[in-house]
Structures are given as C-alpha cells and as structure tokens.
Structure 1
C-alpha cells in the first residue's frame, strides 16, 4: 500500500473513476488537469481544455463576475462549497448550459498554488425537482378549487394543513386553521372523545388506510355538518407515522334528503295501514257483522232441524266469530288506538297479549320509567320497532323465549329485544326488509342500533334513542 501511495497509483484510480468531475487549475485560472467525469459533463476531451482559461467553461454573461470571484479566492484560498444556495451554470463545448454544484479546495505544488474543483452535474436532479414542483402546484391548485375537504392532523391533534373548502365551511382562512386543535375546537361535545380515541387507534394499530366513517363538525355559524371521512396515515423520513390525511365530503344535505324520503315512506306506510284498517272495519267488518245478525235471526228456528244441520250452524257461527276476532286484531295492530289512549307501555303489553303464546313461546316484558307522556310520533316509531323485531323473531328464529326491555331515563330511551332462537350471520343483517325498516326508524330518531347474533345464544338487538 505504501508503494501505491508513493507512486500515486491509488490517487490515479480515484481520480479516473470518481463520479464527480475533477478540474485542476493553477493560480492564474489555467486548466492543468481534468478527469473523465469532467470531460463528460462539459463535452470536451482533456487535451482540448488543458492549457485553456477556466472561463471557457463559464457562460459569457458570468465570466467577468467569475474573474472577480477567482481573484478574491486566490488571495484567500479555503476549502468551501462554491455559490452556496445559488444556481451555478456551466458552459458545454456545444454551447449548452448545465446546472452544477461545485466545491473548491486548494493545495501547494512544486509549481505553486493549485485550485481543485469538484463538480457535480445536477441537471437530472433539477429536472426531478421541477417535475415535483409542478406536481405540488397541481395538487395545491386541486386542493384550492375542489369541493372536497382536505385536512392533515399531526399526532398532537393540531391542524397542519387544510384546504379552502374546509376553511369556508368552518369560517376561517387556511392560515387561521393551522395549529388549532381539531378535536377541541371543531367537534361537537358528544363526539369529541370517540373521535379522539379513533384517531389514537389509527396510530397505535398502524392502520394505513381506514374505513370510511361519518361524524359531525361544528361550522362557522354554529350549525352541525355531517362529514363522510376517509383517513390515511402519513410517515416522516424516518418511517414513523406522524400525521393523518383526511379527505371528506359534506353529506349533510344528502342525509337530510334521505331522512325526508324515509320519513315520507314510513308515513305512507302508516297511512296505508290506516286505510286498510278502515276498510276492514267499515267494509269487511260490517259485512261479517251483517252475516252474524242474519245467523242470529235464524237461531230460534234451529230446533226444527236435525243434529247435522245444528252442528253445521254451530261450526259456522264459531268460524264467523273467529274471523271477526281476527279482523279486529288485524285492524287494531294496523292502527293501535291503545297507544294514543294509554301510552307506549300498555301498547307493548297489548302486543304480547294479542300474540298469546304461539307454539309455546314465552314472552317477558320489562318496562321502566314513564312511557306515557311521549311524543305521539316517537311512541308510534318505538311501537313499530318492537312489533317488527318480535315478528321477525317469531318468523325466522324459531325461539322458545323472547325478552323485551324498555327503559326510559331523562335523556334517552333504551330498548333491548332478545331471543334464544336461531341466530344469523352479520352479513345477512342488511338482507331483511324487517331490519331495514327498524334501522330506518332508528336513524330518523337519531338513535343507535346494535345487533349481536349467533347460532348458540340467539339474537340481541339493542337500541338507544335520545329524547
């Protein structure tokens, strides 16, 4: 190794194979050496530029300034990067300009001071930077004109980035939003902690892309807007999760339209029930009553006929009475007057009484709190929910026991309907019309619905509705 160093062998290998261009000049700026990488950058062969002034590689409009800089450097030589934070350009043999990064060093030789220039062609890097800036500009433009909401929140829950659409919704400029705590300032009190926990879970579980979810935010005029969000975790240069990027759309109007449509549909169902109930009572019910009166009129003459005719009459009378009772039950279920007259509690008891004990099913009804002074529409919705869930259980679950628990507190009404029958897969929950109707009614009442079902313990449906 000592021999290689003494003979300059190792230096020659480094000099020739360096990816940086190496250009050596004397104190007068005359080029005395250049390596292959330097030839490649400027397009000159070594023999073409050795002996030339270094200004041959400088654009003409910058040569005078370069001469002054070179003279200043010769008077006080030091190792440093040339043109720090400036864009330096070199001139190629073909007259083209090439962006460069240049570092300077110096050394004393037998022939005096020499200047060593280490040169890097940064044209590819500049091209990539230019493309990146264009992409950033396009993204900024998109974020400024899109109606979608964009929000970046760091691990400290502070807003790092927001777009104009979100600012307009919140009544603040993009700059005013930066640094504010998203959860403390822009979420309703009822949702703060749930959303904060969801935010923490994203980082703890490393969920790169979350499922779509909805939550309300507080807008500039104090009104609440419902936003549908999609979250993505962002990493820093060290590969650590440092923020979330949330894109969202305001679905307040869409949900209001869906609610209005659902309410209209349910109202139509109630009106249709009332119409059918009236027709049963005024039409079919009256006709059967007329038949019954005629049969009653025939009864005094019954003794004149033999036992067979008397038996037929008795069966006919019983069937007619059963039919009248069934029509009365159907009409009552369609329009539960007991709900208006005696309240929700008595109406629910009547559901159980009217069902009896079909196929040995045991019903347990537990009522707590004041269920009388409830809004008429609210009470009817809860009545229909219980009616639907009980009928669903009887129709599909084949249970031997159905439990119904209703608890009213000051702020909410909690409903639990559970059976010990055959459960179903969660993927099938959206299949049934009955459960769809239940969910629609719960959504209209701004309640929450939770279904737990399996083939071992049956089905449990819990509902919480604010008052």
Structure 2
C-alpha cells in the first residue's frame, strides 16, 4: 500500500510540475481571478505583457488592467458573466484594449474559461497581444486605401483621357463638317457660276441680237418721213438695254450680298413721297396702258433703309409689270402701324402655279409658266435677302391666271 501511495504521490507531483511548467512557459498571458474579480494567479507572460510583478497584481481587481474609460462597464460585464459562466471569447467582433503599468494601452484578444475547485469558482483568462497583427492589418488597410486611391486616380485619368479623346473626336467631326460645308459651298458656287454662264449666254444673246438688228435698221431709215420707224427701233434698243441692266444689277447685288458688303442703315423719311417718286420713275418700264396705283394708311414718317427698300420695291414692281399683260393695273400699298411698316405689291398677272410657290425665293428658280418672259431667277431671292437684312418678313400669295401679291413687314426703328 505504501508503495502504491508513493507512486501516486510521485505521479501527482509530476502532473503538478508539468502544469506549473505549462503555466509558466505559455506564450499567452494567463491570469486567474476568483468570482469577485480578484487576481489569484499570473504567469510570467502576463507579467511581461502588463509590466507588473506578480506580487503587484495578486489580490488586485482585474480592472487594474482595464483602461479607465472601460473599467466601470467591465465591472458590470464581469458580474453578469460570473452568474452564467461559460467558455467564450471576450468582446467578439470588438476591439479590446488592455492597460499596462505605465498606463499605455495595447490591443488584445481574450478568451475566458470558468473552472471550480474545492476553494471555490475561478475564471482563467488567456490574453494575446495582437499589436503586431493590428499593425499588419493597418498596413493592409493602408495598402488597400492606397490601391483604391490609385484605382480612383487611374479611373479619373481614364475618364479624363476619354473626355479628351471625345473632345478631340468632336473637334475632328466639327472640322469634317466645316470641310464638308466648305466643299458644299464651293460646289454651290461652281453651280452658280455654271448657271450664271448659261443664263448670261441665253439672256444676253437675244437682247444683243435685238440691239444689233435695230441699230442696223436705223441706219436704213435716212429720210425724214421714216422718223417714226427710227424712234420705234430706238425705243426697242432702250428697252433692251434696260433689261440687260436689270440682269447685271441682279448679279452684282447677289455678289455684294454674298460678300457681306451690303449693310442695313435705316434713316427717317416720308414714305409717301418716296413711293410716289418711285412710281413716277417706273412708268417708263410699264407696258402699254399699265398703271401703278399707290395708296397709304397711317403716319408718313418711317425709319427704314431707303436704298434697300427702293431696290426691293423696284424688283417687285418690275416683276408685277413683266408678268402682267398690257392694260392691267398694279397696286402698291403702304401702311404704318406702331413699330411696323407694311408694303404690298399686287398684280393681275399670270400668277404662280401652286406647286412652284414654295421655291420662288430660291436662287435661279423660275416658275414653269414663265415661258419666254426674260428673267434670271434671282430677283425674289435677292429681295428676300434684303428683307432679312432689314430684319423683316416677306410673304407671297398667288393664284394662277389671277395675279400675285407680295407682302413685306419691316420694323420701324
């Protein structure tokens, strides 16, 4: 029996020695407290972690190792835990800090395990300093932030380059469109030159032939009794020269408009006197027994570009005479209302086919029923450009074989 007792005592001693060695050589801090939170045991690693000697901790409340700001809440948590003790990690998903003797703090992970002896109930705490891990985590977080910053910077650069590329493409597209517009303008100019040559050769050939023929015939009428025949051919020459002048004026006006040489310069003048003088001036271009009847409503004083207005009305009244038969009346009306001056030119001529009316202001366009009546197709196009230059509006209404009315609304400065 003695031998067995000795063997059991030796085994127990070895067990205690092994537990003591394990306790003292553990790489984790180990602190044992009683149910009241008083420290009972401290291993060397715990002394190292907290900077205390064992005798400085034994009997002290565990809160001595807790930062002051958490100490009060820790007492409540400890008391609640002692009523329902169980093995668990302390502060799961929370950042825990412990306090050293010098009041410095360090991050820790703590796991709790309750146990009981004949002396009472105890709780063993296993404490790990995770400062290095925290530094590594912070380093990883910082690296992640830097990567995010680099990604954001890279994304911004990509977006900036994308915007610059889009802007460059837009400029290229604009340049392309400008080139296309220039080419189109060049094409239109070439078309205009071609039409000009065609129209000029056609329109000038007949009048020049007429002038040549009349001039030749005049030379044959040498006797006084043939004066009437001479005057007839002289009048034909005058009329033909007038037509040629009108054609040349159309081309010159178009060129000046295209080059921006014509400006709108309003002046104040009595519109009634102006229109009466114009009617007298145009009597020579009217056909036999044609008469221009002028009427006005409202105040006579207007503020309009006199030169541009004269060109417009001469063109419209000449057209009214040209496309109306002899003996037909032509009406010129003017009226002033507030800040607008209105003009109407109405004839009783051949009219314009409905399908042609949408194109009458286009360059070189002539209505299908114009027949052999001389014209360049530029008159109404020039008139519209003059009206736009004066910031006015122009409207045309026409009925076939009944006549045409052109209305002008011009701002009164």
TM-score by length of 1: 0.32
Going by fraction, where is helix more abundant, 1 or 2? 2
TM-score under structure 2 length normalisation:
0.36
Larger Rg: 2
Greater RCO, CA 8 A, separation 6+:
2
